[in-house]
Homo-oligomer: A and B are copies of this chain.
């Protein structure tokens, strides 16, 4: 059996990294309170803003933490007890937004969506003109693989004058996202998804509206207080020792993406892999679980008495392949296969060979 880090990894984060990232990762983390590091970070921020099609005067906060730290810090900094937040709750990450709002004491109401389903206009109708001030959505609900309709959401927010917070942890660089066109106030992503660097950094993009909310807010945290990050960020620094190596990996990666032709190239690569996989997987006893699947990941519901957990465990232990299991009520019936990170079509061929073998052996029925 191969070591875990040698296995072919179709999980949805951490994902496999490209050569340009692993090279940076293999180096010592340098001392960083220097003009050189500052310049790298300022260039990196500029590149990221381009990739998110961010409007003028937007900024990026580099927060050392998990994606959830980014979600919490975004809510904490841009909202208060005087807001009334709508949250799309269609899976684990929608639930997480609710738990964060609850913990922070931000008044909110969930829009309950059946797992695997997307958000429809009818789901929003009853929330029109109801005094809400903000809207939070996981654009891709990573737990179910569902993509929500950003245009539908953006129109609703514009019409109701809502501040829009988008968790794009698994959709940034995998789906078309324009902060400008969709009037997104805060956009969250993480280092370990399509950015394909080591986990441990959350990125929060703020529009000028978002920045205004941060500046007018007083938060009960030093570590999460974006005011300090925005201030130090003007000179390419962070208030506290960041995950220096991961930041340098992100800088190298976004430079490479821009060299390769920008965000369109990345999105197309992921969409092509998703299509390649989805076309072939139709021959197996699994059905697409997501009503509208995101490019980043395919969630599959097993048919008959197949077990999602057994498929995950067998692929890991006997074929050195990681797919992504589900938790909770979907544990036995749903598994996911990612399309982000350093993956090629040949990697999927390897996965299909393994699945074929498992069919022959009767592990997949």
The answer to whether A257 has its CB under 8 Å from any CB of chain B is no
A38 CB, nearest partner CB in chain B, Å: 11
Q: How many residues on the A side are at the interface (Cβ–Cβ under 8 A)?
A: 61
Main secondary structure of the interface of A (DSSP, over half): loop
Q: How many copies does the complex hold?
A: 2
Q: Is B245 within 8 A of A199, CB to CB?
A: yes
CB neighbours of A26 from chain B (8 A): 22, 25-26
A193 CB, nearest partner CB in chain B, Å: 9
- Interfacial residues of chain A within 30-76, with CB under 8 A of chain B in the complex: 30-34, 36-37, 64-69, 72
Contacts A66-B242, A243-B198 given; does A222 touch B34 at CB 8 Å: no
Q: Is B241 within 8 A of A67, CB to CB?
A: yes
9 shortest A-B CB distances, which residue pairs? A200-B243, A26-B26, A4-B30, A14-B29, A66-B240, A11-B31, A5-B27, A31-B322, A68-B240
Hey, which bits of chain A sit against chain B, CB under 8 A?
Answer: 3-7, 9, 11, 13-14, 16-17, 22, 25-34, 36-37, 64-69, 72, 96, 99-100, 103-105, 190, 192, 198-201, 219-223, 225, 239-246, 316, 322, 324-325
| Other 6 A-B pairs with CB < 8 A, given A4-B36, A29-B192, A190-B241 | A5-B30, A25-B26, A29-B199, A64-B66, A66-B223, A200-B243
